[in-house]
Structure 1
Amino acid sequence: GEAVARETMLPGAVLTRVARSHIRVGTFQFFAARGDAEAIRMLADHVIARHYPEAAEAGRPHAALLDAVLEAQARLVAQWILIGFIHGVMNTDNTSVAGETIDFGPCAFMDLYHPHKVYSSIDHMGRYAFGRQPGIMQWNLAQLAQCLLPVMGDDQDAAVAEAQSLIDGFPSRFETAL
């Protein structure tokens, strides 16, 4: 490729990212921050149709979507732990609702077990350390749950209770997936 101006002139390249979906928790947060419940509903319905069609048959499809994403992510993070993978920057915009690993630039595999190991040069506090990945994923999914609340039913107290129950179940799902 052609040279690209960075700190110095460097060789350029094209990187193509491939995934079943590039919809992330952060995508839902964008619409939630704008208070756009209709956009959240449309996005959630698209994710259901594309990735979790069984949720469409549930009595509460948006709660079923949250449940399915929780299950997929619990299995994914368990796989990371089993092979010593450190994602590096597990923010909500790097958390796919399809249950796939995306945007893992500062990632690495550990040669020796160290639960506090980080690979991101900006993670000075160890937020995304190897051993913290399950808890961070649970936090990210709590953010998804918060975004979905407006479309989980008219009774918001019931929606909050249901979402909280699902989020609270993440650790046991993760442990089962190990």
Structure 2
Amino acid sequence: MTTPAAAPAIEPDEKDWTWVLRERCPECGFTAADADTTAIGGTVRDLAPRWVSALHRTDARERPEPTTWSTLEYGAHVRDVFRVFDGRLALMLAEDDPLFENWDQDATALADRYDLQDPTVVADELADAADAIADRFDSVADDAWERTGRRSNGSEFTVTTLGQYFLHDVVHHLHDVHA
């Protein structure tokens, strides 16, 4: 059996998106600093069905342009965002100022062949991952919101800013897929 040809390459996103913690995103309109961190769990639960619905669209596998991810690829990415940030949040709650493992989202998309995954399976996995991170955010104690963690590029987060940054990613990509 031969391996299916890779989808056309997507330009890697090398921007440091932490600026969304200070400014309104001009693309999706989300203002991370205004996000009520104690409501992140509920917000994720409210947004997950929109992702599931988008992944069940008949055109979920189709790229709007050859170099723009399909709804399926964005959905697989968001599923993994839920998983990665759930792990980062768990570290921040368990350890003092942990250093997060690097995650190259573009390399993951290629290695895991987001373009060939089953949209129905991705929808189910995304919903499960959404529930897990929503539960973890709901469990954050009042005195834990200022706990810290760091990315290897030096970006520092508190549990509050990690949640706000994370939520922007989920909302932004819903905007990308028009859902």
**Is TM more than 0.5 here?**
no
Identify which of structures 1 and 2 has the higher relative contact order when contacts are C-alpha pairs closer than 8 Å and 6+ apart: 2
TM-score, normalized by length of structure 1?
0.34
Mark the structure with the bigger radius of gyration. Answer: 1
TM-score, normalized by length of structure 2?
0.34
